[in-house]
Amino acid sequence: MGIGLLVGCLALLAIAVVIIVVVGIGLYNKLVGLKNRSENAWADVDVQLKRRYDLIPNLVETVKGYAGHERETLENVIKARQQAINVTDDVAKMAQAENVLTQALRQLFALSESYPELKADQSFLELQAALERIESALADSRRYYNAVVRDLNTTCEKFPSNIVANMFNFAKREYFELDDTAQREAPKVDFGR
């Protein structure tokens, strides 16, 4: 009877070990999948940022043809673009540089209000429409990236996946967020009351 009990205990222990190993493998594979999805999502964001950077020189040249004496605004856009391109290793710094670039582009588009010829120029209108499409695609890519990062970070923090994450050095990632509170606020509507 003692041997039967010992065999039964060993069988239960073996089953428990197998279950732990299977769960561990499943959690590891989930973490690998989330890590790869987050890297792929970041690559999508990066593609949209590069498309944006490539469009800006054409936009600046078009504006320069009509508003060349607005040198400071044009230089600010070029400087902000270069600073955004140069930041590559830190998501938070990239978000900050992108916010500066967005502000500079807003100033550039505000110039078109002062120059009716520019506002009516077909090249400018096409570049403006292209930038709007890129901004929309960038916003979609950013949302997807942040959703995948949320899932990865949650998995890295939850028990028991946090044990597997720590054992295999899976790290949480940073969100790509806007710092500009004006972009986060809903627009104010005034019907002239």
**Residue 59 belongs to domain with CATH number:** 1.20.1440
Calpha distance 138→131 (Å, rounded)? 10
Split at pLDDT 50, 70, 90, the class of 1 is low
**182 pLDDT above the threshold of 60:** no
Asked if 114 and 128 count as a contact pair (C-beta separation under 8 A), the reply is: no
pLDDT at 117: 86
Whole-number Å distance between alpha carbons of 181 and 130: 25
Q: pTM for this structure? A: 0.81
State mean pLDDT over 88-92. Answer: 86
Instruction: Tally the domains of the chain.
Output: 1
Q: What is the pLDDT of residue 46?
A: 93
All residues at 6 or more sequence positions from 161 whose CB lies less than 8 Å from its CB, including other chains: 27, 30, 31, 155
Q: Which pLDDT band, with edges at 50, 70 and 90, does 189 fall under?
A: very low
Residue located via tokens 């078109």 = 112
Mean of pLDDT over the chain: 88
Burial category of 112 from C-beta neighbours within 10 Å (exposed 0-12, middle 13-18, buried 19 and up): buried
In a domain, 162, yes or no: no
70 phi/psi in degrees, rounded to 5: -85, 50
Q: Is residue 65 part of a domain?
A: yes
Question: Is 153 part of a structural domain of the chain?
Answer: no
| Residue 183 belongs to a domain | no
Look at residue 73 and tell me if it is in a domain: yes
104 lies in some domain: yes
In one letter, which amino acid is 187? P
Q: Which of 28-37, 45-54, 118-127 has the lowest mean pLDDT?
A: 118-127
Structural domain contains residue 54: yes
Q: Which residue has the higher pLDDT, 85 or 119?
A: 85
Q: Which residues of 56-72 are buried (b: 16+ CB within 10 A; e: fewer)?
A: beebbebbeebbeebee
112, part of any domain: yes
Q: What's the confidence (pLDDT) of residue 173?
A: 95
| Furthest C-alpha separation in the chain | 99
- What range does the domain containing 83 cover? 38-142
Instruction: In whole angstroms, give the CA distance from residue 20 to residue 10.
Output: 15
Residue identified by tokens 């499409």 is 133
